[in-house]
């Protein structure tokens, strides 16, 4: 992964300490970033919801109702969706995209694993 030299590296901890489904919140320099392990891949999101500024990364990690062509409820993507702690909007953890409204996207940050540590580039 290419990461600009202008970014700051923040170590989230050992990769082994953040198993699939896990999360850690990093608070530094007045900022807050959530780091997630989704099926063995790491992602980081700004802990500020683009809807109304709520603590997005403190919400439940969940799945969502999938689009269907039939009139029935199909649940999927378990573990890859973050539901905001304030109003329940759902966001794709990998992209930060709000599922219900494409105008909203949570800020994401590149994440690498270096020497066994999860490193967020902010």
Answer yes or no whether residue 52 interacts with ligand FES by CB under 6 A. Answer: yes
Name the β-bridge partners of 117.
14, 114
Half-sphere exposure of 30 (CA within 13 A, CB side): 0
Min separation Cβ 58 and ligand FES, Å: 10
* Separation between Cα atoms, residue 67 and residue 122, nearest integer Å: 33
> How many angstroms separate the Cα of 84 from the Cα of each of 40, 52, 103?
22, 10, 16
Min separation Cβ 83 and ligand FES, Å: 8
Min separation Cβ 91 and ligand FES, Å: 9
Footprint of ligand FES on residues 73-92 (CB under 6 A)? 84, 86-87, 89
Give the footprint of ligand FES on this chain (CB under 6 A). Answer: 49, 51-54, 56, 84, 86-87, 89
């Amino acid at each position: 992964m290419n990461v600009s030299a202008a970014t700051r590296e923040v170590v989230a901890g050992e990769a082994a300490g953040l198993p699939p489904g896990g999360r850690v919140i990093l608070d530094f320099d007045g900022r807050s970033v959530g780091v997630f392990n989704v099926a063995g891949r790491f992602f980081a999101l700004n802990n500020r919801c683009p809807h109304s500024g709520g603590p997005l990364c403190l919400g439940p990690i969940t799945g969502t109702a999938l689009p269907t062509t039939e009139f029935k409820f199909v649940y999927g993507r378990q573990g890859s969706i973050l539901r905001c702690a304030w109003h329940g909007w759902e966001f794709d953890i990998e992209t930060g995209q709000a599922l219900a409204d494409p105008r909203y996207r949570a800020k994401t940050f590149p994440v690498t694993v270096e020497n066994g540590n999860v490193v967020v580039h902010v």
